[in-house]
Amino acid sequence: MVRYQDPVTGYEVRRYTEGPERNAKLYFTCENFSTDDRYFFFMKQQLEGKTEGGCYRAEVETGELTRVTDNQYRGFATDREKNIGYTCKNETEVYAVDLGNNTMKKIGDLPKGGQITGHLTAADTGRIACSYHLANKYYGLVILDPGKEAEVVFQSDYRLGHAQICPSDENLIFFIHETEGDAFQRTWMFDIKERYVRPYYVERVNEWITHEVWAADGTEMALMKLIPPGFVNGDKGEVHTGNIIIADKDGRHFDIVATDTQLLHPCISRDHKWLCADRISYLGTDIEEGVVLIERATGKSKLIATTGRCMSGADHQHPSFNRKGDEILFSNPDRNGIAQVCVIDLKQVWKDW
């Protein structure tokens, strides 16, 4: 672990990894820390001829690294409340990982011949859900209940991704139509009991909705509304390419709670008081890339850490809070644009907020 002072913001940042391989934090749509915030988890890229790839945990205070899974496993994600991780081996075998001692137990199988299109997610009942590329080449949503066989509950000829079961309601699965860009209608909610799918945020012409995430308690979601080049936001003619929207669980009420330039991936603290997002050059606009902290009650935003420029989407910063809400974990692209994991302690930021 290396401590350094951010050259722009002046805040101390801790960097835990160094390339040449990619070391990227877990995606921002799942918990990244153990329940006691002692450890966070990240994915190490396996380079050709090497054997060190897989999921690792880092001890926040010491920087000690321990490998949790090797490169045979995919889709690692941690539970919202329990000190458990979930991962897939050989595409279809689902394992639960005890995050205290890293022991693993197989808990079921996903449908044969398919593969996940994102990470696993879990509700508070233990039900696991994911988006899936089926053997018949359709895409689908799959659930796995404790002690039962996996079930395909929805199929589509659209490419499905970013599936997230509601943390506090096992009946709802949020998912998207993945275009790797804008979509006519990106966000969807699926009711498992009723086998009913409906749009979540109903998009209008020239809206670009992206990068959605449940709050940890499942009561609301954050999502990004991008304004494409050539379109203005508001009466002043100002062009903003990052509006963070907070929506209720049912998708009936949407509020823009923060607006800033070039925001992309939003995340909500567990107490709902703070938001964070990465700031990235895209849509033809170059900017100092980094991590932004936002006070939800006031909409005040502040750049708290700068980063290198991302080489790919896998190297995006994807910031997220620890469970206590006083630290942010993010990927910091190095001089080659390759992600390396960093943590910033927010207590130093709050002193001069």
Q: Looking up tokens 């915030």, which residue turns up?
A: 37
Residue 285 is predicted with a pLDDT of 81
**pLDDT < 70: residue spans in the chain:** 228-240
Summarize pLDDT for 40-81 with one digit per residue, the tens.
Answer: 999 999 888 888 899 999 999 999 999 999 999 999 999 999
CATH architecture assigned to 2-350: 7 Propeller (2.130)
Res 236: pLDDT: 47
How far apart, in whole angstroms, are the C-alpha atoms of residue 257 and residue 298?
8
- Mean pLDDT over all residues of the chain? 94
Please report the pLDDT score of residue 49 as a whole number. Answer: 80
Q: What is the pLDDT of residue 240?
A: 62
Q: Structural domain boundaries of the chain?
A: 2-350
